[in-house]
């Protein structure tokens, strides 16, 4: 009997313990739950930071190596990476298929609705609009590279029925993706107003800037693809936009650009009377009204090594690296002269004799200010330090110049004057320019920026006014509004040091060249050439092509005692030895191939043309 | 004793490794598929490293194409496992793609299979003569596909056999207005100075249609200077 009592007491403990479920129910200490996340603005923001960080680009965001493959430049860095000067665009070049990211965004959008109870409607709408902006940005990157892709805007959840066929989303038409981007951005732009003070989170104008760019792409694809002798298309429209849509797209792009230009919130950066320095500062001075949307870097948190990679050789603060991305002569020549003449440099007379210059910079006199702002050329300075650029000496012997190059950079010639500069240029060498030019754009002058220990914190411009003006110009020109377009182009040129109204008759070629020089190395050139459908003509793979081959310009000091040209400078055009293979863009590269594993998993996907 | 055990362990490990090798060993492909890309019995010259075919094999869950590279003279050769393959003539070559009518090839041992294609243009009867430093080329461009537009015609000079649009020492463009399909064209030009002292040169003519960015080439011909 006594035992029975003890047992029943013990049993009653268990019964009571089981009853208290709250006690067992505890939040995990190492996992943030959805309820916590979606009710805490700070946690949501740090999640957003991750998503903003994952915004895709082809070879943007300070990707030195990638830029040397598709921009007007070559690789002068380590010899091990010389394949960048010796490769062919493969079928998968530029492939981008990131449904992992799309799912993350779709999941977040659904979770806000499901779990957020403490956020105000305004807060929720802002976060959702930002997520939808990022999703539109990702879809734009995909459609640029792959054509129409499956349009997935909700989570795809498997029901374990053994048949996943209902999850296989076929590809949308190419224009459907562009239309999706447009309608998304139109819907969210007013929800983003709360961010209008920010340059690193999406706001109304960021949405409009993406709209301006995406609609311009769609318009030019509709127009120029159909002007090809055999347009690139698929029967289902996954690739190929009907020509009659072009006008509408151009108009949409123009309207978006006009709204930004007329908003008064942003302006072309024009603070420094020295137009060259002004152009350089425009991208380096954070917070300037030029930049609409940027990816920011901060020494204490997140840095990049673009300065370490590309700073002028003798000015680097590190013991390795430097000089990796070196701009081409072709780019330098695409900058016009301020008097309106074409930018071809005058290195030789009509009879083939060299033109001697008193100073090494004289040949670059009176060039578009953006040349100084983008490229370090012989005789100029970086960080207020003069660069030491001279390929060698040109000795007059037996009626012609013989080019002699010093065995060591910075060596002196027999006449005790400079032989080859500390910064080269030197052919077939690493970590010194092989073209005769260095990068200035994006290369930070800040102390320590070129060391690996400190690195750089200048930001990457996703969208800036220079582009918006040129987007507006191109869209207006395509709409037949030549006067309006000319105004935009002239504004951009005036900022670069040209006189007011420097262009009187605008052509498409001028607009294209403006984009090339204004937006060099900003992840535009490759896609511009693609959407104008001229990439296969510009990069035709021919060694005789001026455009497909990266050329260099080497300055030499004349050694000809007693002659009036003695100690003057002459310039020699050359093809760098390290640039091995002319760029060759095939029809197949207009749209990248889809990964075979993706095709295997989803048999409803059609393959891109030429793949 | 300790030594003995460790030796035994080594022995066992070696035996284990050697034994396990068998499991994932496959025989290397032992069959060869080779042939020529031809049009009406004549082989089609292409750019080296240029156009490709694709081979596919059915009967597996996961598929991936096997690329077939074509040599400059139009021949190809692939090492394969024996079996039935599907050969696809993709877009991108100087010929009409055949995406819907797949060619079925049974590969057993050494198999020869000539792939008949339809080029947009061909070049017939190429002939070259050298008179001191002048090269005269005569040829006939034939339009095979009625709708094809003639985009460009070039004569290529090279010091090596692999001469084409991308790799050459000299290229002479011939205005397409001067060329009437089906009629013989004759052009003469000076051999450039840097090539004039060579003992011989390889000469090719290429024609490209607007439908493709690859040229149809004649076979590399060696010309004594």
Domain ranges of chain B: 31-116, 121-224
The pLDDT score that the predictor gives to residue A39 is: 95
Q: What is the pLDDT confidence band of residue A24, given thresholds at 50, 70 and 90?
A: confident
Does A609 touch chain B if contact means CB atoms closer than 8 Å? yes
pLDDT given at position A18? 55
A587 touches chain B (CB under 8 A): yes
- By C-alpha distance, which of B46, B49, B29 is closest to B111? B29
Q: A588 vs B91: CB contact, 8 Å cut-off?
A: yes
Question: CA A270, CA A278: separation in Å to the nearest integer?
Answer: 6
Chain B residues in contact with A543 by the CB 8 A cut-off are 166-168
Distance from CA of B62 to the nearest CA of A (A): 6
Domain coverage including residue A405: 306-458+542-579
**Count: domains in chain A:** 2
CA distance A363 to chain B (A): 30
DSSP state of A194: G
From chain A, pick out residues whose CB is under 8 angstroms from the CB of B171: 542, 544
What does the pLDDT look like over A64-102, one tens digit per residue? 999 999 999 999 999 999 999 999 999 999 999 999 999
Label residue A592 exposed, middle or buried (CB < 10 Å: 0-12, 13-18, 19+). buried
Q: Which residue of B63, B91, B166 is in closest CB contact with A596?
A: B63
Question: Span A122-128, mean pLDDT?
Answer: 95
What CA–CA distances, in Å, run from A563 to A346, A356, A395, A556? 21, 12, 12, 16
A344 interfaces chain B, CB cutoff of 8 Å: no
Contacting A residues, span 91-110, partner chain B, CB-CB under 8 Å = none
Partners of B61 on chain A (C-beta within 8 Å) are 600
Please tell me which of the candidates B62, B91, B149 has its beta carbon nearest to residue A229. Answer: B149
Contact B88, B77 (CB under 8 A): no
**Residue A541 to residue B211, Cβ atoms within 8 A:** no
Give B166→chain A minimum CA distance, Å.
5
Residue B9's pLDDT is 86
pLDDT at residue A529, rounded to an integer: 97
Token reading at A260? 């930004």
CB contact under 8 A, B90 and A611: yes
Smallest Cα–Cα separation from A456: which of A581, A301, A582? A301
Least confident piece of the model among A24-33, A160-169, A252-261:
A24-33
Find the residue in A nearest to B67 (Cα). Answer: A611
Domain shared by A323 and A228, yes or no: no
Instruction: Answer yes or no: do A255 and A335 share one domain.
Output: no
Question: Within a domain: residue A194?
Answer: yes
Q: Has residue A511 been placed in a domain? A: no
Q: Is 80 exceeded by the pLDDT of residue A124?
A: yes
Give the C-alpha separation, B84 to A41, whole Å. 60
Chain B touched by A586 (CB under 8 Å): yes
Residue A557 lies in a domain: yes
Which of 526-555 (A) contact B at CB < 8 A?
536, 540-544
| Residue at A7 is within a domain | no
CB–CB contacts below 8 A, A to B: 48
Alpha helices in A397-522 (DSSP H): 465-478, 482-495, 508-518
Which of these ranges, A14-28, A297-311, A354-368, has the smallest mean pLDDT? A14-28
From the candidates B213, B214, B215, which should be mutated to test the interface with A, based on the most A CB atoms within 10 A? B213
Question: Which pLDDT score is estimated for B21?
Answer: 59
CATH class given for the domain over B121-224: mainly beta
Shared domain for A316 and A423, answered yes or no, is yes
Same-domain check for residues A572 and A594: no
CB contact under 8 A, B151 and A588: no
B186, β-bridge pairs: B138
CA A457 – CA A550 distance, rounded (Å): 30
Identify the pLDDT of residue B22. 61
Is residue A340, in this structure, part of any structural domain at all?
yes
User: Best mutation site among A542, A592, A595, A607 for testing chain B: the one with the most B CBs within 10 Å?
Assistant: A542
The answer to whether the CB of A36 falls within 8 A of the CB of A43 is yes
Search chain A and give the residue with CA nearest B212.
Answer: A587
Quote the minimal CA–CA distance from A601 to chain B in Å.
Answer: 8
pLDDT at A145 over 90: yes
Q: Is the pLDDT of residue A320 over 90?
A: no
The answer to whether residue A277 sits within a structural domain is yes
Q: Which residues of A touch B121 (CB under 8 A)?
A: none
A310 and A411 share a domain?
A: yes
Q: pLDDT averaged over chain A?
A: 94
Locus of tokens 């066929």: A165
Residues written for chain B: 225
CB contact under 8 A, B210 and A229: yes
Contact predicate A463/A213, CB 8 Å: yes
A85 to chain B, minimum CA–CA distance in Å? 15
Residues A439 and A290 in one domain: no
Element (H, E) at A24: helix A21-24
Partners of residue A599 in chain B, C-beta under 8 Å = 63
**Residue A189's pLDDT is what?**
95
ipTM of the complex: 0.77
pLDDT tens over chain B, length 225 residues: 667 888 888 888 887 766 655 666 777 888 999 999 999 989 999 998 889 999 998 888 888 889 999 999 999 999 999 999 999 998 888 999 887 777 899 999 899 999 999 999 999 999 999 988 899 999 999 999 988 889 899 999 999 999 998 888 899 999 888 899 999 999 999 999 888 888 999 999 999 998 888 999 999 999 998
DSSP per-residue letters across A351-413: TSPBPPBSSTTGGGTTB-HHHHHHEE-TT-EETTEEP----EEEEEETTEEEEE--SSTT-B-
Q: Give the position of tokens 């399909």.
A: B181
In Å, how far is A222's CA from the nearest CA of chain B?
18
CB contact under 8 A, A229 and B92: no
Question: Is residue A237 a part of any domain in this protein?
Answer: yes
Question: Whole-angstrom Cα distance, residue A439 to residue A330?
Answer: 14
> Long-range contacts of range A141-144, CB-CB < 8 Å, 24 or more positions apart?
A141/A56, A141/A57, A141/A58, A141/A96, A142/A96, A142/A97, A142/A98, A142/A177, A143/A174, A143/A177, A143/A178, A143/A181, A144/A217, A144/A527, A144/A530
Residues A234 and A322 in one domain: no
> Per-residue pLDDT tens for A191-205?
999 999 999 999 999
Domains B31-116 and B121-224 share a fold: yes
Q: Which CATH topology does B31-116 take?
A: Immunoglobulin-like (2.60.40)
Interface contact flag, B64 A536, Cβ < 8 Å: no
Query: What are B143-196's pLDDT values in tens digits?
Result: 999 888 898 999 999 999 999 988 888 999 998 888 999 999 999 999 998 888
Whether the per-residue pLDDT at A178 is higher than 90: the answer is yes
* Rounded Cα–Cα distance for residues B176 and A422 (Å): 50
- Domain CATH for A121: 1.25.40.390
DSSP-derived letter for residue A172 is P
Residue A588: list chain B partners with CB under 8 A: 91-92
Residue in chain A nearest B64 by alpha carbon:
A596
Cβ–Cβ gap A597/B62 under 8 Å: yes
Check whether residue A218 and residue A317 sit in a common domain.
no
Non-local CB neighbours of A587 within 8 Å, separated by 6+ positions = A232, A536, A609, A610, B91, B92, B212, B213
CA nearest neighbour of B142 among B123, B125, B155, B116: B123
A549: chain B residues, CB-CB within 8 Å: none
Distance CA B85, CA B106 (A): 6
pLDDT (tens digit, 9 = 90+) per residue, A530-543? Answer: 999 999 999 988 88
In whole angstroms, give the CA distance from residue B162 to residue B203.
10
CA distance B214 to chain A (A): 8
Residues A263 and A194 reside in one and the same domain: yes
Chain A, 8 to 37: residues with Cβ < 8 Å from chain B are none
Q: Could you count the other beta carbons within 10 Å of the beta carbon of residue A418? A: 17
Pull the structure tokens for residue A217.
């792409």
Q: Is A10 within the bounds of a domain?
A: no
β-strand A552-559 against A325-327: which pairing, if any?
A: unpaired
Alpha helices in B60-212 (DSSP H): 193-196
Interface check A87 vs B, CB under 8 A: no
pLDDT single digits (tens) A359-399: 999 999 999 999 999 999 999 999 999 999 999 999 999 88
Confidence category of residue A509, pLDDT binned at 50, 70, 90: very high
Using the Cβ of A90 and the Cβ atoms of chain B, whether some distance falls under 8 Å is answered with: no
Nearest to A282 by CA among A203, A196, A199, A373: A373
């Amino acid at each position: 009997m006594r035992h029975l009592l003890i047992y029943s007491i013990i049993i009653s403990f268990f019964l009571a313990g089981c009853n208290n479920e709250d006690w067992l129910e505890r939040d995990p200490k190492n996992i943030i739950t959805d309820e916590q996340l979606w009710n805490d603005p700070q946690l949501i923001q740090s999640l957003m930071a991750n998503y903003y960080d994952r915004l895709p680009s082809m070879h943007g965001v300070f990707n030195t190596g990638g830029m040397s493959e598709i921009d007007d430049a070559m690789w002068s860095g380590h010899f091990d990476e010389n394949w960048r000067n010796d490769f062919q665009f493969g079928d998968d070049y530029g492939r981008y298929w990131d449904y992992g990211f799309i799912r993350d965004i779709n999941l977040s959008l659904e979770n806000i609705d499901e779990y957020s109870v403490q956020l105000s409607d305004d807060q929720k709408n802002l976060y959702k609009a930002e997520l939808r902006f990022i999703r539109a940005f990702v879809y734009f990157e995909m459609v640029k590279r792959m054509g129409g892709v499956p349009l997935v805007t909700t989570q795809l959840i498997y029901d374990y029925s053994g048949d996943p066929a209902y999850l296989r989303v076929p590809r949308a038409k190419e224009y459907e993706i562009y239309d999706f981007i447009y309608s998304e951005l139109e819907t969210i732009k007013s929800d983003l107003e709360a961010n209008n003070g920010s340059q690193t989170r999406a706001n109304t104008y960021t949405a409009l800037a993406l709209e301006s760019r995406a609609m311009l792409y769609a318009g030019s694809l509709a127009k120029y693809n159909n002007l090809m002798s055999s347009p690139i298309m698929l029967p289902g429209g996954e690739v190929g936009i009907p020509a009659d849509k072009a006008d509408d797209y151009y108009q949409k792009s123009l309207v978006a650009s006009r709204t930004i230009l007329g908003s008064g919130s942003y302006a072309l950066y024009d603070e420094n009377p020295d137009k060259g320095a002004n152009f350089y500062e425009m991208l380096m001075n954070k917070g300037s009204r030029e930049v609409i949307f940027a990816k920011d870097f901060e020494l204490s948190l997140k840095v990049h090594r673009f300065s370490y990679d590309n700073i002028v050789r003798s000015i680097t603060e590190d013991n390795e690296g430097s000089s990796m991305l070196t701009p081409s002569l072709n780019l330098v020549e695409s900058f016009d002269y301020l008097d309106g003449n074409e930018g071809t440099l005058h290195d030789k007379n009509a009879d083939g004799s060299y033109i001697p210059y008193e100073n090494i910079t004289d040949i670059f006199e009176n060039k578009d200010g953006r040349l100084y702002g983008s490229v370090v050329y012989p005789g100029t300075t970086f960080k207020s330090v003069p660069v030491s650029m001279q390929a060698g000496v040109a000795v007059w012997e037996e009626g012609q110049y013989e080019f002699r190059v010093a065995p060591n950079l910075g060596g002196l010639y027999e006449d005790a004057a400079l032989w080859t500069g500390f910064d080269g240029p030197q052919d077939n060498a690493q970590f010194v320019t092989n073209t005769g030019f260095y990068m200035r754009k994006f290369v930070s002058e800040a102390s320590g920026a070129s060391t690996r220990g400190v690195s750089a914190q200048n930001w990457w411009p996703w969208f800036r006014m220079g582009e918006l003006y040129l987007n507006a110009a191109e869209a207006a020109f395509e709409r037949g509004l030549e006067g309006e377009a000319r105004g935009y182009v002239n504004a951009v040129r005036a900022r670069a040091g040209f006189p007011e109204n420097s262009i009187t008759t605008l052509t498409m070629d001028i607009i294209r060249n403006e984009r090339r020089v204004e937006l060099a190395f900003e992840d535009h050139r490759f896609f511009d050439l693609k959407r104008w459908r001229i990439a296969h003509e510009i990069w035709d793979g021919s060694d005789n092509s001026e455009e497909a081959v990266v050329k260099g310009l080497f300055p030499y000091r004349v050694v000809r005692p007693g002659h009036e040209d003695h100690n003057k400078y002459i310039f020699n055009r050359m093809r760098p030895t390290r640039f091995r293979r002319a760029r060759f863009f095939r029809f197949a590269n207009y749209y990248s191939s889809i990964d075979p594993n993706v095709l295997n998993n989803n048999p409803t996907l059609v393959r891109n043309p030429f793949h | 004793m300790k030594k003995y055990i460790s030796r035994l362990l080594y022995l066992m490990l070696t035996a284990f490794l050697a034994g396990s090798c068998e499991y994932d060993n496959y025989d290397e492909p032992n069959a060869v598929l080779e042939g020529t890309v031809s049009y009406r019995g004549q082989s089609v010259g292409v750019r080296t490293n240029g156009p490709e075919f694709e081979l596919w094999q059915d009967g597996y869950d996961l598929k991936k194409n096997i690329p077939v590279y074509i040599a400059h003279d139009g021949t190809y050769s692939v090492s394969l496992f024996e079996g039935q393959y599907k050969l696809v003539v993709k877009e991108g070559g100087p010929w009409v793609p055949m995406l819907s009518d797949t060619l079925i090839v049974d590969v057993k041992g050494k198999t020869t299979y000539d792939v008949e294609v339809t080029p947009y243009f061909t070049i017939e009867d190429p002939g070259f003569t050298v008179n001191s430093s002048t090269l005269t080329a005569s040829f006939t461009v034939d339009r095979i596909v009625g709708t094809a537009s003639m985009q460009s015609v070039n004569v290529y000079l090279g010091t090596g056999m692999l001469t084409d649009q991308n790799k050459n020492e000299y290229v002479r463009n011939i205005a397409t207005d001067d060329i009437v399909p089906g009629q013989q064209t004759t052009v003469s030009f000076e051999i450039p100075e840097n090539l004039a002292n060579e003992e011989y040169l390889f000469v090719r003519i290429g024609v490209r249609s607007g439908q493709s960015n690859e040229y149809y080439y004649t076979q590399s011909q060696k010309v004594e200077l």
